[in-house]
């Protein structure tokens, strides 16, 4: 796998609703980059805002999320130049700008999509019967969020994950950004 250019002033962002395969794809991108000897760092946004209750002034923990990501990215950079790859949700220009500002990089989103049937099956695999309320919330929210992401239209490209294994999705993402496998 080779890289077309060596610039490091931008980050890959795997954007998408619940159950489309962002986290699995993120893991496989890391594996592919490591196998090819390309330095990288991975951030799954979900782990940077998981704190409850949020501060009254920070609905959704967006401020704390940005601060946490900025700190972790600064720490990763002490190991040397690397490509940052992130998975999460960018549903507005404000979200995109917040990530750009927090990381000091141009964030380049790629939206992963999946059909409702595939997404619901993936989401069902995450939860036990006793967690049915969580499944119901995510299944309903998936449809709403997918519509918001499509309307926002902030992504460089869209990759359908229905009939692809996560490693194939990862390869398609890297190909979009000029990595050849």
Query: Can you give the residue ranges of every domain in the chain?
Result: 2-180
Checking if the pLDDT of 86 tops 70, the result is yes
Name the more confident of 82 and 137. Answer: 82
CATH number of 2-180: 3.40.50.300
The DSSP output letter for 165 is -
Name the more confident of 178 and 56. Answer: 178
Residues 155 and 138: their CA atoms lie apart, in Å, by 22
pLDDT digits (tens, 9 = 90+) for 11-20: 999 999 989 9
pLDDT digits (tens, 9 = 90+) for 141-176: 888 999 999 999 999 999 999 999 999 999 999 999
* Residue 127 main-chain phi, psi, to 5 deg: -120, 145
pTM: 0.90
């Amino acid at each position: 796998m080779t890289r077309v250019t060596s610039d490091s002033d931008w980050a890959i962002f795997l954007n998408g609703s619940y159950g489309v395969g962002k986290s699995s794809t993120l893991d496989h991108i890391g594996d592919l980059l490591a196998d090819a000897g390309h330095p990288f760092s991975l951030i799954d946004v979900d782990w940077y805002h998981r704190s409850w209750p949020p501060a009254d002034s920070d609905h959704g923990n967006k401020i704390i999320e940005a601060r946490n990501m900025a700190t972790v990215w600064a720490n990763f950079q002490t190991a040397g130049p690397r490509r940052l790859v992130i998975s999460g949700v960018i549903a507005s220009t404000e979200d995109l700008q917040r990530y750009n500002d927090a990381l000091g990089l141009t964030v380049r989103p790629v939206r992963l999509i999946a059909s409702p049937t595939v997404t619901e099956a993936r989401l069902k695999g995450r939860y036990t019967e006793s967690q049915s309320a969580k499944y119901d919330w995510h299944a309903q929210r998936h449809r709403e969020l997918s519509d918001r992401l499509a309307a926002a239209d902030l992504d460089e490209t869209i990759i359908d994950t229905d009939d692809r294994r996560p490693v194939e999705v990862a390869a398609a993402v890297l190909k979009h950004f000029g990595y050849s496998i």
